[in-house]
Amino acid sequence: MLAALDIGNTNVTVGIFDGEEVRATWRLATDIERLTDEYAVTVLGLLEHAGIDPRGIREAIIASVVPDLVPVFEQLCKRYFGVEPMVVDTGTRTGVRILYDNPRDVGADRIVDVVAALRLYGPPPLIIVDFGTATVFDAVSADGEYMGGAIAPGIGIASEALFERAAKLHRVELERPKAAIGKNTVAAIQSGTLYGYVGLLEGMVARFKKELGGKARVIATGGWAPLLAKETRVFDAVDPNLTLTGLRILHQMQQRSGRD
């Protein structure tokens, strides 16, 4: 089995693959203060609950936008799975040409998403929207090149900023309100947050499609994707496991290139 780990600013997403089959996925809170053994207790407990023997994990791959946690999870893989993990970085061959001004500035998770989207949802052009700590829009040209994208504050951190800066506004559950015109403060916050982000989403996708010059397919991923997908028809596919699948595909690619 393969352990795929996507280390983001808010969550660490863990996926266990048996071949191409996803056996289990989990989201852990990102905390740079946690030690290897502390994360291991959580991961091993989740594996046991899912009936997965950690001794069956023979390979691992890591993508991270939090540099401080890379050695933590490398050590976890070595100590508890007995494997040397592959770490996706700027030197990893992905088969994707990056047209960013400085390719090193592109987060590993963004290119991993592109790899998965091209394999699963091609042919390009494609637009990938990842709803995480940030809301990230990525554009893939008709030739399969990574063109660049846009980054907006994520729906979660935008809500937190509102609550922190406005003394009379309290945290509310982000769910669909009964109407766009809220009749109370809770409904008004829910409307402004949810429908406001739908407007952002649809507006950005329209601009991306125009600049791509063709009818691009739109793929959503990330923790907030299912909530936003219920409020718009802009998506052609919603895939919460896109990044983990991309890691699996990259791992297979590296293995094959190593044998050639």
Span 30-83, pLDDT tens digits: 999 999 999 999 999 999 999 999 999 999 999 999 999 999 999 999 999 999
- Any catalytic annotation for residue 109? yes
**pLDDT over threshold 60, residue 259:** no
Distance CA 106, CA 126 (A): 17
- DSSP code of residue 148: E
The answer to whether residue 94 is domain-embedded is: no
Catalytic pick from 18, 31, 101, 109? 109
**pLDDT over threshold 60, residue 244:** yes
Q: Is the pTM of this model over 0.75?
A: yes
Distance CA 225, CA 237 (A): 10
From 87, 112, 136, the end of a domain falls on 87
Res 255: pLDDT: 81
The answer to whether residue 256 is domain-embedded is: no
Res 169: pLDDT: 66
β strands within 44-145, DSSP E: 59-64, 86-87, 126-131, 134-140
Report the candidate in 149, 111, 83, 142 with the shortest Cα–Cα distance to residue 246: 111
54 shares a domain with 169: no
The answer to whether residue 98 is domain-embedded is: no
Res 168: pLDDT: 62
227 shares a domain with 148: yes
83 shares a domain with 107: no
Distance CA 202, CA 220 (A): 12
Q: How many domains does the chain have?
A: 2
Span 163-203, pLDDT tens digits: 777 756 667 778 888 899 999 888 888 899 899 999 999 99
Residue 38 CB: number of other CB atoms within 10 A? 13
User: What's 61's domain CATH number?
Assistant: 3.30.420.40
Q: Residue 30's domain spans which residues?
A: 2-87
107 shares a domain with 77: no
Span 125-172, pLDDT tens digits: 999 999 988 999 999 999 999 999 999 999 888 888 777 777 566 677
The answer to whether residue 254 is domain-embedded is: no
Res 61: pLDDT: 97
- Max CA pair span of the chain: 64
The answer to whether residue 257 is domain-embedded is: no
Any alpha helices (H) in 122-165, and if so which ranges? 155-165
